[in-house]
Amino acid sequence: MAEELPESLKMKLLKKWMSEQRRVKEKESSVDPEKIVWEKLVDDRARELMSKAKHLYPDRYRYVIDILYRLIIEGSIKELDGYTTLLILHRLGVPVKPDLKIKFVKRGKEVDFKEYVE
């Protein structure tokens, strides 16, 4: 069938195909893996752990983002909570620890330790 088409039509089809391929590549390159990973973090603990990893281990952080991005694209991960994020970071060699927060609740309100003891 390609032999039956005139040369001018072949050139038009080739140009159209090349421009479509270029658009697809630009679209793929404009995707920010870090943004996609951060959108999948569902709770504050996960965001806290990722921000600590970014500040404490910037060289390993890039690697973690690439791995998480691939897992999200594959469909293995739909969302990341704090516990899952902590486990993945430790498995990938990023020893980030979450901040400890002790909450005291007295009569339905969060209070500090002095008020709780009274």
Domain range list for the chain = 32-117
84 burial type by CB count under 10 A (0-12 exposed, 13-18 middle, 19+ buried):
middle
CA dihedral sign, ordered 72, 75, 79, 83:
negative
pLDDT of residue 69: 94
Residue 19 has pLDDT above 80, yes or no: yes
Query: 20-24, 44-48, 67-71: lowest mean pLDDT where?
Result: 20-24
Q: Which fold has domain 32-117?
A: Helicase, Ruva Protein; domain 3 (1.10.8)
Which of 2, 74, 91 has its CA nearest to residue 40?
Answer: 74
Specify the pTM. Answer: 0.64
pLDDT (tens digit per residue) in 88-117? 999 999 999 988 878 888 888 888 877 778
Instruction: Kindly give, in sequence order, each residue whose CB lies less than 8 Å from that of residue 69, ignoring residues fewer than 6 positions away.
Output: 33, 34, 36, 37
Mean pLDDT for all residues in the chain:
88
pLDDT of residue 29: 65
Instruction: Kindly give, in sequence order, each residue whose CB lies less than 8 Å from that of residue 78, ignoring residues fewer than 6 positions away.
Output: 40, 72
